[in-house]
Structure 1
Amino acid sequence: METTDLLKRVRQIEIKTRGLSNDIFAGEYHSAFKGRGMTFSEVREYQYGDDIRNIDWNVTARFNHPFVKIFEEERELTVMLLVDVSGSRDFGTMSQTKKNMITEIAATIAFSAIQNKDKIGVIFFSDKIEKFIPPQKGKKHTLYIIRELINFEPENSNTDISMVLEYFTSAIKRRCIAFLISDFIDGDFDRAISLANRKHDVVALQVYDPRETELPNIGLMKVKDAETGERLWVDTSDRRLRMAYHNWWGENQINLQQVLAKSHVDYVSISTDQDYVKALMRLFKQRS
């Protein structure tokens, strides 16, 4: 992408996603993702309804009437985006590709993070770690992430979710929030996501295209596997073939839901023809 086109696209995404973060997600994000704990702030005089367990007995004895300790959330968090950049992200038959929706979702989360003074970092992955952007604060850093989301070209096209989860678990030492954004067609990552979620707080965001859920009845069609490059002719007029594909998709979704539920990972599935804002809001409210 030419530099001028890239900057224009970055600006468009910044305006849209920063606005969403400011107007919609600020409170929900803050409520959904807690800090590391509570730290002592100050003491004040006891008021009706205060928890008597917070009474500071030393100060109370000194002034001969009750005072309570006030605590505030130790807010600063680290947020990591684990972004699938394999070949299948370029697929899209509706208003946009999976890549475009993933970019907007990631940018919205990034702006929500910096608005709450959290650090934000990214791991781009295929079947290898394509790029690691260490977590930092600030608008400049977030705009750099958005540029990479738009313009980054991976070396490989296949997917390995277990690999990126193992790398993430090893590379990020302190507990953080991790958004794993993928179409999750790679289904063999049960153990890796369970281990990752024990150390960190992992949230799974599935982005898929409606056409991936079933084959259209349009006769003989040449298809290409975006990850392997394999091409073959498919007779979509064959009802049994269409049914087999539909069943494969359904079984894949059930397996994904079972794996994430077993690992206690929060999850939302978003189609490219749906409003991702509503989906994220629903997820954030469930966590609050």
Structure 2
Amino acid sequence: MTAEELLKKVRLIEFKSKRKINSLFLGEYHSSFKGVGMTFSEVRQYQYGDDVRKIDWNKTARFNEPFVKIFEEEREMISMILIDISASMNFGTRKQFKNDTVAEISATLAFSAIKNNDKVGLILYSDKIESFIPPKKGNSHVVRMIKEILETEPKPAQTNLNLVFDFLLKTIKRKSNIFLISDFDIPNFERSLSIVTKKHDITGIRVYDDIEKIFPNIGLVKFKDLETGKIQWINTSSSKIREEYSKYYAMLVTRVENTFTKNGAGFLNIPTQGDYIKVLFNYFKGHH
């Protein structure tokens, strides 16, 4: 991709993302992810039903009647977008490649965050941390993130989520909204996920292509594992092989989803050819 083509693609994704973030979507995003702290706002006279723990005893003693402290939620949050850039993410057969869908989803989440006056940051990972952009505000910051996502070449390596979670805990100290994007064809990561969910709010976003669910009947085909480089021939005309693959795939998806829900984390499945805005909207609506 030339510099000109890259810029054109970045601008297109920026335009599409901003157009899709309507007031309804932003409202759902805002109410889904509330601030984590409370700031002192004012003192007023006690009213029936007020929490007695909030009584301002100094003012109460001075005026000989009860007063309470009023607090407001700190609205500003941090959102971190963590993206798997291992080679399996560079795959697609219908509408577009997984990594194109990932760039659009990330841009939508990032622009929603800054519209909400939140900071947003980015981590690109494979078997190591490939790129880290610390959380900031601003349109130009999000454009830089999109450019980084599109510019980074997929890595022929297996994903190491344990390393990513360790880096996240060391780097982002304040409780944040974490969007973890991958196809989750990943070895066991449940233990490290359970540690991170105690500190941050996590949503797993699984991006997949429909062809991955069901092998098409196209005869004897040579397959190359994009992450390991291993090559093998598979007879796709065998109904038994296709059936076994479908069972394995369904089991893999269920296992990943259960890993997230068991640890109190959110989980979404988004196909490359689907309407990701509708999936995100429904998720935020149910996340209140």
Distance 1:163 1:69 in 2: 43
Structure 2 equivalent of residue 99 of structure 1: 99
User: 1:171 offset after TM fit, Å?
Assistant: 2.2
Structure 2 equivalent of residue 87 of structure 1: 87
Q: TM-score, normalising length from structure 1? A: 0.91
User: 1:138 offset after TM fit, Å?
Assistant: 1.1
Distance 1:93 1:23 in 2: 33
Structure 2 equivalent of residue 172 of structure 1: 172
Which deviates more, 13-22 or 248-257? 13-22
CA contact (8 A) 2:119 2:135 kept: yes
Name stretches of at least 5 consecutive residues in structure 1 with no aligned partner. none
Amino acid at match of 2:50: I
User: 1:110 offset after TM fit, Å?
Assistant: 0.5
CA contact (8 A) 1:127 1:156 kept: no
CA contact (8 A) 2:156 2:228 kept: no
Structure 1 equivalent of residue 74 of structure 2: 74
Structure 1 equivalent of residue 146 of structure 2: 146
Structure 1 equivalent of residue 286 of structure 2: 286
Structure 2 equivalent of residue 196 of structure 1: 196
Structure 1 equivalent of residue 132 of structure 2: 132
Distance 2:45 2:16 in 1: 45
Structure 2 equivalent of residue 110 of structure 1: 110
Amino acid at match of 1:254: T
User: 1:273 offset after TM fit, Å?
Assistant: 2.0
CA contact (8 A) 1:217 1:236 kept: yes
CA contact (8 A) 1:187 1:256 kept: no
What is the DSSP-based 3-state SS (H/G/I as helix, E as strand, rest coil) of the residue aligned with 1:185? Answer: coil
User: 1:67 offset after TM fit, Å?
Assistant: 7.0
Which deviates more, 143-152 or 163-172? 163-172
Q: TM-score, normalising length from structure 2? A: 0.91
User: 1:4 offset after TM fit, Å?
Assistant: 1.5
Task: Report the CA distance shift for 1:155/1:225 in structure 2 as closer, same or farther (over 3 A).
Answer: closer
What is the DSSP-based 3-state SS (H/G/I as helix, E as strand, rest coil) of the residue aligned with 2:21? Answer: helix
Structure 2 equivalent of residue 159 of structure 1: 159
Distance 1:155 1:273 in 2: 23
Amino acid at match of 1:164: V
Pairing 1:26–2:14 present: no
What does 1:252-271 correspond to in 2, within 5 Å? 252-271=252-271
Matched-pair identity in %: 47
What is the DSSP-based 3-state SS (H/G/I as helix, E as strand, rest coil) of the residue aligned with 1:52? Answer: coil
Amino acid at match of 2:270: I
| Cα RMSD for the two superposed structures | 2.2
Amino acid at match of 1:269: N
Structure 2 equivalent of residue 52 of structure 1: 50
Distance 2:88 2:19 in 1: 29
Structure 1 equivalent of residue 272 of structure 2: 272
CA contact (8 A) 1:89 1:183 kept: yes
Distance 2:91 2:117 in 1: 34
CA contact (8 A) 1:128 1:156 kept: no
Task: Report the CA distance shift for 1:93/1:24 in structure 2 as closer, same or farther (over 3 A).
Answer: farther
Distance 2:261 2:88 in 1: 25
What is the DSSP-based 3-state SS (H/G/I as helix, E as strand, rest coil) of the residue aligned with 1:117? Answer: coil
- What is the total number of aligned residue pairs between the two structures? 286
Which deviates more, 278-287 or 56-65? 56-65
Distance 2:5 2:230 in 1: 32
Distance 1:31 1:226 in 2: 40
1:52-89 residue CA offsets vs partner (Å, 9 max, x unmatched): 33676876888899876543210111111110001011
Distance 2:261 2:18 in 1: 31
